[in-house]
Amino acid sequence: MRMIVSGGGTGGHIYPAITLIRMIKEKVKDCEVLYVGTEFGLEADIVPKEKIAFKTIHVKGFARKITTENIKVLCKSIHSIWESKKIIKEFNPDIVIGTGGYVCGPILLAASLMGIPTMIQEQNVIPGITNKILAKFVRHIAVGYADSQKYFHSDKVVFTGNPVRKEVLTASRENGIENFALDVNKKTILISGGSRGARSINNAMIDVHAHFAGNKEIQLLHVTGKDEYNGIIAKLRRKSIDIEKVGNIIIKPYLYNMPDAIAATDLAIFRAGAIGLAELTARGIPAILIPYPYAAENHQEHNALAMQKAGAGIMILDKELTGKKLIDIINNLLQEEGKLSFMAKASKALGKPNAASDIADIAIQMLPKA
């Protein structure tokens, strides 16, 4: 089996692709993979480290309004389709899969026009513009949310959920508690604004840390992002909070073992990226969600609303976020009998832990018959 996978720009497109590649390789022993991205996207750094063959095309995303720059982008896009055809002819794939981002547009379009079986995976409730266009050409569309099916109006759509890393599913609560030196008798709250952090969340957490410092019921594991870490530590010191002494606050710039942290978590305070939410629901973790307000098509707010509608999350808009609001919600969840447990069950009901396997099966079924 020979397979081209494409997706890039953000980790939300790249990590699902890597998860799918790993799953398909588990199911198909003789599987050769080529990843197509751009030289400036995150994929150029992440994918080669996974020891996956990597090639680039020259393509740029369209602005979301009519500009003269879009004319240049269109010219580049036409050239990138020619580049894509060349890569496809050289690699000769059996199938081509896209996980979103403008980079996968040319390669999926070229493959479809050349008669090669193609599939896209849409992570968010509101589909990205590239996947909306590609939906007219590909054979199958695997969606992460049931609500996103209506945007495609197609019998090609399958609701699979979003692919989740195996490490998230197999990590144990016991190991997570041990690895972070957590107290097994306290509720653990995990705070993360993504790999780069979120300033609005970090700033709101200053008051939260001050309020709950030394609390006997909860412990806070706060991931600030590398650029934000020193500033947050300095602000806590100005409030005379010594995290080494209070005993229930852990602050990290970055976590390389996020699956262990999720496994040990009772409540998450997160952005509303699709893959982060897929990982939380796969483990049945309730969440307070602060959608990134500048996400394309405002898709994070729609992701968060889907969680809230199901009873698995509570949404706070970024512009309305304050430390006091977080404190009030946390206190209410702790004090209202059974509320956290109810949300955990609702989160678990949303989870699709087998999504990667189901999407892989769809891909394998597309293989040309011998």
Question: Which residues, 6 or more positions from 211, have their beta carbon under 8 angstroms from its beta carbon?
Answer: 323, 327
271 is in an annotated binding site: no
**Hunting for tokens 């997706």 — which residue is that?**
7
335 is in an annotated binding site: no
Which segments of 60-160 does DSSP mark as H helices, in order?
Answer: 69-91, 104-113, 129-134
338 is in an annotated binding site: no
- Strand ranges in 193-289 using DSSP code E only, listed in sequence order: 218-223, 249-252, 267-270, 287-289
10 is in an annotated binding site: yes
d(C-alpha 347, C-alpha 276), whole Å: 13
SS3 category, 280: helix
**Hunting for tokens 């304050």 — which residue is that?**
322
101 is in an annotated binding site: no
User: How buried is 95 (Cβ within 10 angstroms: 0-12 exposed, 13-18 middle, 19+ buried)?
Assistant: buried
300 is in an annotated binding site: yes
8 is in an annotated binding site: no
Question: Which residues, 6 or more positions from 178, have their beta carbon under 8 angstroms from its beta carbon?
Answer: none
Binding residues, by number, are: 10-12, 124, 165, 195, 300
Binding residues for UDP-N-acetyl-alpha-D-glucosamine, by number, are: 10-12, 124, 165, 195, 300
